[in-house]
Amino acid sequence: MMAILPISFMPNLEFYFAADGALAQFVPDYRMRVQQLEMAQMVAETIAENRILIAEAGTGTGKTFAYLVPALLAGGKVILSTGTKTQQDQLFHRDIQTVRAALKLPVKVALLKGRANYVCHYHLRRTLQEAHTSLDDKKYLQLIERYASTSRSGDKSGLGEVPENATIWQQVTSTRENCLGSECSNYKECFVMQARKQAISADVVVVNHHLFFADVILRDEGLSELLPTCNTVIFDEAHQLPEIASLFFGESVSTGQLLELAHEIETEGLLSTKDFVALPEAALAMEKAARDLRLTIEEENTRLPLDAVIQNPEFREALDELLERLNVLTSLLESQAERSEGLENCWQRAREIVFDITRWASQAEVEGFVRWIETFRYVLQLNSTPLSIAEVFNKQLSASPRAWIFTSATLSVRGDFSHYNSEMGLNLELSSVRSVCWESPFDFANQALLYVPTGLPEPANHKYTEKVVRAALPVLKASRGRAFFLCTSLRAMQQVYTVLLELFEREKLDYPLLLQSQGSRSDMLERFRNMGNAVLIGSQSFWEGVDVRGEALSLVVIDKLPFASPDDPVLSARIEKLNKEGRNAFMEYQLPRAVINLKQGVGRLIRDEVDRGVLMICDPRLITKSYGKRIWQSLPPMKRTRDLNEVEQFFLLNNEIVEAGKIN
**Whether residues 110 and 129 fall in one domain:** no
What is the helix (H) or strand (E) element at residue 477, kind and residue range?
Answer: helix 464-479
Q: What is the pLDDT of residue 656?
A: 67
Beta-carbon neighbour count of residue 575 at 10 Å? 19
Q: Which CATH number is 458's domain given?
A: 3.40.50.300
Q: What is the longest distance spanned by two Cα atoms in the chain?
A: 80
Q: What is the mean pLDDT of the chain?
A: 90
Does 129 score more than 90 pLDDT?
no
**Whether residues 469 and 505 fall in one domain:** yes
**How confident is the model over 549-585, as pLDDT tens digits?**
988 999 999 999 999 988 899 999 999 999 999 999 9
**Whether residues 221 and 287 fall in one domain:** no
Judge whether 105 lies within some domain: yes
**Whether residues 370 and 464 fall in one domain:** no
Angle at 578 between CA 572 and CA 582, to 5 degrees: 135
**Whether residues 411 and 456 fall in one domain:** no
Does 116 score more than 70 pLDDT?
yes
Choose between 470 and 312: higher pLDDT. Answer: 470
Q: What is the pLDDT of residue 392?
A: 84
Judge whether 82 lies within some domain: yes
Lowest-pLDDT range of 313-317, 324-328, 425-429: 425-429
Measure the CA–CA gap between 402 and 47, rounded to whole angstroms. 8
Judge whether 337 lies within some domain: no
Q: Which range, 281-290, 426-435, 653-662, has the best average confidence (pLDDT)? A: 281-290
Judge whether 6 lies within some domain: no
Does 203 score more than 50 pLDDT?
yes
Does 3 score more than 50 pLDDT?
no
Does 132 score more than 80 pLDDT?
no
**How confident is the model over 151-164, as pLDDT tens digits?**
999 999 889 888 88
Domain that holds residue 281: 252-332+342-386
Burial class, 386, CB count within 10 angstroms (exposed 0-12 / middle 13-18 / buried 19+): buried
Judge whether 201 lies within some domain: yes
Q: What is the pLDDT of residue 218?
A: 59
What is the helix (H) or strand (E) element at residue 422, kind and residue range?
Answer: helix 418-424
Q: What is the pLDDT of residue 578?
A: 93
Judge whether 598 lies within some domain: yes
Residue 176 main-chain phi, psi, to 5 deg: -55, -35
Judge whether 8 lies within some domain: no
**Whether residues 647 and 520 fall in one domain:** yes
**How confident is the model over 488-547, as pLDDT tens digits?**
999 999 999 999 999 999 999 999 999 998 888 888 999 999 999 999 999 988 999 888
Quickly state the pLDDT bin for 133 (edges 50, 70, 90): low
**Whether residues 466 and 511 fall in one domain:** yes
Q: At what angle do helices 96-103 and 63-74 cross, to 10 degrees?
A: 50
pTM attached to this predicted model: 0.90
Lowest-pLDDT range of 33-47, 131-145, 635-649: 131-145
Lowest-pLDDT range of 194-198, 320-324, 516-520: 516-520
Chosen domain end from 164, 185, 206: 185
Quickly state the pLDDT bin for 399 (edges 50, 70, 90): confident
**Whether residues 131 and 203 fall in one domain:** no
**Whether residues 646 and 558 fall in one domain:** yes
Chosen domain end from 396, 418, 438: 438
In order of 211, 481, 482, the CA distances from 501 in angstroms are: 41, 13, 16
Chosen domain end from 378, 407, 438: 438
Between strands 109-111 and 204-208, the pairing is parallel
Mean pLDDT of the 236-262 span: 92
**Whether residues 313 and 455 fall in one domain:** no
Number of domains in the chain: 4
Judge whether 7 lies within some domain: no
**Whether residues 262 and 353 fall in one domain:** yes
**Whether residues 555 and 476 fall in one domain:** yes
Asked whether 482 and 639 are in contact (CB, 8 A), the reply is: no
